[in-house]
Amino acid sequence: MNWSEFVHMGGYGFYVWSSYGLALLVLLLNLYLPLRRRKTVRRLLHEFLRLKEQTR
């Protein structure tokens, strides 16, 4: 099996690769969201603890 045949997928290339591409997108997005959230939470917590120190 050569490369262009592989991409062609017997004429179903569009359907097969859209499915795999979308799967990749969904997996990456669900990984990215908690990583971004982690950054935000850390930043907010530092802020929160700083304010708590000040008001004490």
Question: Would you tell me which residues interact with other proteins (CB under 8 A)?
Answer: 6, 9-12, 15-16, 18-20, 22-23, 26-27, 29-31, 33-35, 37-38, 41-42, 44-46, 48-49
User: What does the DSSP assignment read for the chain?
Assistant: --HHHHHHGGGTHHHHHHHHHHHHHHHHHHHHHHHHHHHHHHHHHHHHHHHHHHH-
> CB-wise, 10 or 55, nearer to other proteins?
10
Q: Which two tokens stand for residue 48?
A: 């929160």
Q: What is the smallest separation between the CB atom of 10 and other proteins, expressed in angstroms?
A: 4
Q: What is the smallest separation between the CB atom of 54 and other proteins, expressed in angstroms?
A: 14
